[in-house]
Amino acid sequence: MNGPAVQAETIKPYSLYAQPILYKGLSFKLLTGRHYALYCRCSQDEARTLLRQLDAFYEREYAQFFVNPVADKTRIVLFQDELEYRRSVNAPDGQWAHYDPALKISLSYYQKNPGALFHESVHRWLDANYHSGAALWFNEGFASYFESPMLKADGSWQYQKVNFRIQSLAQQDWRPLTDLMRRIDLRYPTDKAQARALFAYLADRGLLRDYVRQYLETCFGDPDGIAALELVLHAPLGQIDLDLQEWVHKHGAPATGETSKSIDQRGSVALRELFQF
């Protein structure tokens, strides 16, 4: 490490910290915006573009779902490419980014499409707002909804109802929603796909904001989110399950599917020492 870590709040918006931070022989520079701080290895222009996209994402989406702002800038460590990311954090196959709740930081690599960082940003938002911890299916399903954005002509993002996750459900057995929502892990290959499908279904009906806010208000007494879902959709869970299956069959398409893998948090100690979290 070359010199002390710099607090993002001391840097002006869109300013580039001149002195690089060294980690495992890799040089990172700090670029900060209104809501994010990027420790990056991509070019300055790439980092500025990504930072503007992330700030715009926060300003468009955050207030729809949450009342209290995130206290600190959301911190992201961006490696130069996928290979460098995987080697540095021992990431398993199929993982493009991950959020470390202990460090409250996301790690990934530079990609032109910011979907992976949108996904990890939502984990940070939930971490800041659900003090008892949102249910894992809720956490992953809500975050995954934002992971496949398409840029519209007006410069805003449209989130695809169908992506690689929902497609995998077309060839897999459906698990009852009550099982998914009451589990404390996501052990089955299609759990994340099914969780994302539920949030895409809510968004398609214009009820995503209502459900997230309802869960925020009642999660202490309704940790699995079932009562909130029944309230927002005005239907019992069994009927919601059938309606969601019909929606998935309507929008889904055959695909090879995805294997859900646990996040490998090795390397957190080294990162903590580097960035002094």
pLDDT digits (tens, 9 = 90+) for 34-53: 999 999 998 889 999 999 99
Span 185-221, pLDDT tens digits = 887 778 989 999 999 999 999 999 999 999 989 988 9
Mean pLDDT of 158-169: 81
Span 107-160, pLDDT tens digits = 999 988 899 999 999 999 999 888 667 899 999 999 999 998 888 888 778 898
33: left (phi over 0), alpha (psi -120 to 50) or beta: beta
Q: Return d(Cα 83, Cα 261) in angstroms, integer.
A: 18
Domains in the chain, ordered, with CATH?
A: 8-129 (3.40.30), 151-251 (no CATH)
Average pLDDT, the chain: 81
Is pLDDT at 172 greater than 90 in this prediction?
A: no
Span 249-259, pLDDT tens digits = 888 644 333 33
Q: What b/e sequence results for 114-148 when a residue is b if at least 16 CB atoms lie within 10 Å of its CB, and e otherwise?
A: bbbbbbbbbbbbbbbbbeeebbbbbbbbbbbbbbb
197 token code pair: 């499908």
Q: Return d(Cα 218, Cα 182) in angstroms, integer.
A: 16
| The predicted structure's pLDDT at residue 140 | 93
Query: How many residues are listed for the chain in this entry?
Result: 277
**C-beta separation of 21 from 37 below 8 A:** no
Would you say the pTM of this structure is higher than 0.85?
no
User: How many other β-carbons are positioned within 10 Å of the β-carbon of residue 43?
Assistant: 11
Beta strands (DSSP E) in 168-260 are none
First to last CA, the chain: 14
> Which positions ≥6 away from 31 have C-beta within 8 Å?
14, 15, 16, 17, 37, 38, 40, 44, 47, 48, 51
Q: How confident is the model at residue 277 (pLDDT cuts 50, 70, 90)?
A: very low
